[in-house]
A = this chain, B = another copy of it.
Amino acid sequence: MNPNAFRKLSYGVYVISSWDEGRPTGCTANSVMQITSEPATVAVSINHDNYTNGCISRSGRFAVSVLSETSDPSIIGTFGFQSGKTVNKFDSVEYEQKANLPVVKDSCAWIVCEVIDRMETATHTVFLGKVVDADEQGAGEPMTYAYYHKVIRGKSPKNAPTYLPEEEKAQEARWVCSVCGYVYDGETPFEQLPDSFVCPVCRQPKSAFVKK
């Protein structure tokens, strides 16, 4: 079995949010798909270890915020590289309540669901949600997971003159965030960055970067 085959499946990038006893919380996820149109239902897959899993189970509701290519990439880090058990993730990310659930404001669409079924696997729960309400908002193309990997996590913007195929880039030493994998690619040499520099994806300090 060649696990690279799984990388050929296409996904978006989403924040799945819910309530934790009145406190908004959530996590990033790729695994979201519409299942039926009448009634509209959506399936999301959430790891058992993810704090959001229990919050969805207890509240019986979740929201999907669809991130766009123009969404602030730090949202991915805020919701993806720390636990909602110890951090109030929505403290640093603006949200609005839609159909009584918190949704990320800097997204291109949101879908609010009520859990109507679930399927358990070894590590993840697949929640089936009946859509309560949904709308588009803002502009921008939906961010795909491929876009996140190629453009945000480690390379120049694809339209930038400094963009090089991955193979050529691999020859150079690169400063990589040890937490989220973001590869620094700015004009200023990494060593000359101020100590206040933080990872634009997960907000870890400069000291979390390692040379690879």
Which residues of A does B touch, CB under 8 Å? Answer: 1-6, 8-12, 30-43, 45, 64, 66, 108-111, 117, 119, 121-124, 126, 128, 131, 133-136, 141-146
When chains A and B are docked, how far (Å) is the Cα of A121 from the Cα of B127?
12
* 10 A-B residue pairs with CB within 8 Å: A5-B109, A6-B42, A8-B12, A8-B109, A9-B34, A9-B42, A10-B144, A36-B124, A43-B43, A126-B128
Q: Is the CB of B12 within 8 A of A12?
A: no
When chains A and B are docked, how far (Å) is the Cα of A148 from the Cα of B40?
23
Which are the 8 A-B pairs with shortest beta-carbon distances? A10-B12, A8-B109, A5-B134, A5-B109, A8-B66, A2-B135, A31-B33, A8-B142
| Least distance between A29 CB and chain B CB atoms (Å) | 10
**Partner of A136 from B2, B42, B111, B143 at Cβ < 8 Å:** B2
Copies in the complex: 2
Q: Is the CB of A119 within 8 A of B126?
A: yes
Q: Is the CB of B31 within 8 A of A9?
A: no
Q: Is the CB of B8 within 8 A of A108?
A: yes
Q: Is the CB of B35 within 8 A of A3?
A: no
**Partner of A2 from B35, B119, B134 at Cβ < 8 Å:** B134
Q: Which residues of B contact A109 (CB under 8 A)?
A: 4-5, 8
